[in-house]
């Protein structure tokens, strides 16, 4: 059956790296129909807003969305609704993608680029499942209140319902089946009520429906420590929005380059997922044809696996990227000289 992939290439290096993913889709010849739409700063310049209703509707109607990157110096400092990043948050909310999947996988040929010693990271393969649409980033009440006498108070609320916890925990437990079957849930149940609820709900769901999953609980501060002490102890790390933001960035640095790391955001089964590199628009190198396209191509692989029903092709694409790296193909960020399209060529040649 035909599947549809919407490309929102966005700003900066976004269009350059997304173009390489588009070449991969074409080469796979798997009946995946791509379309493109304006988004982010490019949307602001053309349409006055980063995300039009029409583009959001298109995203919700597609099987998957592959995003490039948004933002750039020309749009920073604008009012919130005129900022490219506002479009991204509106897209995530509009698509209701509440589970953020971020792999931290270390390619053997690049293990020396890690901030840790090779033996600690070689073979590293962690998958973060981060809650993306709740927690302290979204809880109410929030704001800055004036207490008088020059004193002010900033307020955010860390809040989760059992439903919000269970739906993201379910994603982690389902994914565990295709991996080693181990899930480590990270929170601060010793000092936070929402963290205590998190621990109870995750355990209850596991006991009721996923008895084969090996579940452990770890306080988030200890998780941060364990990640740099012995990262290979982890398989899936399930955590909330705030801790997931921090811990997944920490783990990213264990694997080397920003230009290699993909991500996915998924919601209810049967609804489209949103896939994007974790790097930004990299204005310092935009337009030069030197950006590393691997993160975009590996994001495409995640789309093939989780939204387009082709895990076989996902594995093929990932293997082609790894083979190109093993053969020494390197863009500038990895210490090499290949341009964006050359790296695309190297991967296509091994597909
Ligand atoms: P954002 O706020 O959009 O996340 P950022 O400030 O975190 O952006 P990035 O745009 O991710 O920054 O860039 C950080 C650095 O990494 C820059 O020097 C950039 O050139 C480099 N970089 C990011 N992505 C890539 C890539 N795909 N290939 C090569 N270099 C990259
Ligand atoms: Mg960033």
Q: What is the pLDDT of residue 79?
A: 84
Q: What is the pTM of this model?
A: 0.93
- Answer yes or no: are the C-beta atoms of 12 and 281 closer than 8 Å: yes
Q: How many CA atoms lie within 13 A of 350 on its CB side?
A: 20
- pLDDT at residue 1, rounded to an integer: 78
Centre of ligand 1 to C-alpha 286, Å, is 10
282 annotated ligand binder: yes
* CA separation for the pair 131, 242 (Å, rounded): 8
- pLDDT, residue 124, reads 94
Structure token digits, residue 184: 């480590």
| ipTM for the whole complex | 0.94
> Do 127 and 176 form a contact (C-beta atoms < 8 A)?
no
Tell me if 78 is assigned to a ligand binding site.
yes
Q: DSSP string spanning 267-295?
A: -STTSPEEEEESS---TTTTTTT----HH
Does residue 232 have an active-site annotation? no
pLDDT, mean of residues 39-47: 96
Phi, psi (deg, nearest 5) at residue 32: -95, 120
Distance 50 CA to ligand 2 centre (A): 18
The reply to whether 350 sits in an annotated binding site is: no
pLDDT for res 117 = 87
Least confident of 5-9, 109-113, 193-197, 284-288: 109-113
Q: Is the pLDDT of residue 113 over 90?
A: no
Ligand nearest to the CA of 14: 1
73 marked as binding residue: yes
CA distances from 125 to 102, 107, 137, 250, 348 (A): 11, 9, 28, 14, 24
User: According to the model, what pLDDT value does residue 37 have?
Assistant: 98
Q: Which domains does the chain have, with CATH numbers?
A: 1-98+267-351 (3.40.718.10), 104-259 (3.40.718.10)
How does residue 112 score in pLDDT terms, banded at 50, 70 and 90?
confident
Atom nearest to 284 CA in ligand 1: 20
Give the pLDDT mean for 299-312: 97
For ligand 1, residues with CB inside 6 Å are: 13, 17, 71, 258-259, 279-282, 284-285, 291-292, 295, 333
> Is 221 one of the annotated active-site residues of the chain?
yes
Mutate to test the pocket of ligand 1, among 68, 86, 280, 338 (most ligand atoms within 8 A of CB): 280
- Find where tokens 């437990």 sit: 173
Among 11, 63, 160, 188, which one carries the catalytic annotation? 188
Mean pLDDT taken over the chain: 95
What is the share, in percent, of the chain residues with pLDDT greater than 70?
Answer: 100
Percent over 90 (pLDDT), the chain: 88
Ligand lying closest to the C-alpha of residue 84: 1
Give the per-residue pLDDT at 253: 87
242 burial via Cβ count (<10 Å: 0-12, 13-18, 19+):
middle
Residue 1, token pair as written in the block: 């059956």
Q: Residue 88 CA: which ligand is closest?
A: 1
Q: Are 241 and 137 in contact (CB under 8 A)?
A: yes
- CA separation for the pair 43, 38 (Å, rounded): 5
- Residues 6-33 have a mean pLDDT of 98
Respond yes or no: is residue 63 known to be catalytic: no
pLDDT above 90: residue 321: yes
Q: Is the dihedral of CA 322, 30, 95, 315 positive or negative?
A: negative
Q: Which two tokens stand for residue 176?
A: 């565990």
């Amino acid at each position: 059956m035909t599947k549809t992939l919407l490309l929102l290439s966005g700003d900066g290096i976004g269009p350059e790296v997304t173009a390489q993913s588009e070449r991969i889709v074409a080469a796979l010849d798997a009946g995946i129909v791509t379309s493109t739409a304006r988004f982010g700063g490019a949307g602001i310049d053309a349409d006055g807003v980063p995300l039009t209703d029409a583009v959001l509707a298109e995203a919700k109607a597609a099987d998957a969305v592959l995003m490039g990157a948004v933002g750039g110096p020309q749009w920073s400092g604008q009012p919130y609704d005129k900022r490219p990043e506002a479009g991204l948050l509106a897209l995530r909310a509009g698509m209701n993608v509440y589970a953020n999947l971020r792999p931290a996988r270390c390619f053997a040929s690049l293990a020396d680029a890690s901030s840790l010693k090779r033996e600690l990271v070689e073979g590293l393969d962690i998958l973060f499942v981060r809650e993306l649409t709740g927690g302290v980033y979204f809880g109410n009440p929030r704001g800055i209140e004036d207490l008088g006498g020059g004193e002010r108070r900033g307020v955010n609320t860390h809040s989760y319902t059992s439903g919000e916890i269970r739906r993201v925990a379910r994603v982690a437990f389902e994914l565990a089946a295709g991996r080693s079957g181990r899930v480590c849930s990270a929170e601060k149940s010793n000092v936070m009520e929402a963290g205590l609820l998190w621990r109870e709900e995750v355990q209850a769901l596991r006991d009721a429906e996923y008895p084969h999953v090996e579940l452990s609980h770890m306080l988030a501060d200890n998780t941060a420590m364990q990640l740099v002490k012995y990262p290979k102890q982890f398989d899936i790390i399930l955590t909330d929005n705030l801790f997931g933001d921090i811990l997944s960035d920490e783990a990213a640095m264990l694997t080397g380059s920003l230009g290699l790391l993909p991500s996915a955001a998924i919601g209810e089964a049967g609804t489209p997922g949103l896939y994007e590199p974790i790097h930004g628009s990299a204005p310092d190198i935009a337009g030069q044809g030197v950006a590393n396209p691997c993160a975009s191509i590996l994001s495409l692989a995640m789309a093939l696996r989780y939204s387009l029903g082709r895990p076989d092709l996902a594995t093929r694409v990932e293997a082609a990227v790894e083979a190109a790296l093993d053969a020494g193909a390197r863009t500038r960020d990895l210490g090499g000289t290949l341009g964006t399209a050359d790296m695309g060529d190297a991967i296509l040649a091994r597909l």
